[in-house]
Amino acid sequence: MYEKQKEYLKAEKNYKAIIANYKEDILADDAYFALAELYNNVLSRPIEAQGYYEQIIFNHADSIHFIEARRKFRELRGDDLN
């Protein structure tokens, strides 16, 4: 909701609260991915985005976001994907 209203810092705060309070929840990977996307695409903080993509790769391997997180993590790391 905050992202749609372009209140990105509030969105960041909410995603971090979800991660802190519900990191074992079935939807935690959604919060990790949304926060990574926010950092990568909106807030121009790729180093932080890389860390949240990495969380999905190592701690949520069954996530629907796994493949995209791995691709974006490698992109940010500078790997040649071709």
Q: Could you list the pLDDT tens digit for every one of the 82 residues in the chain?
A: 899 999 999 999 999 999 999 988 888 999 999 999 999 999 999 999 999 999 999 999 999 999 999 999 999 988 876 6
Question: In this predicted structure, what is the pLDDT of residue 9?
Answer: 94
- Domain tally, the chain: 1
The boundaries of the domain holding residue 63 are 8-77
Residue 1 lies in a domain: no
Residue 14 lies in a domain: yes
Give this prediction's pTM.
0.90
Question: In this predicted structure, what is the pLDDT of residue 81?
Answer: 64
Question: In this predicted structure, what is the pLDDT of residue 6?
Answer: 92
Residue 17 lies in a domain: yes
Residue 2 lies in a domain: no
CA dist 8 and 1 (Å) reads: 10
Residue 54 lies in a domain: yes
Q: Are 33 and 63 spatial neighbours (Cβ–Cβ below 8 Å)?
A: yes
Which is nearest to 15 in space by CA: 2, 32, 1, 37?
A: 32
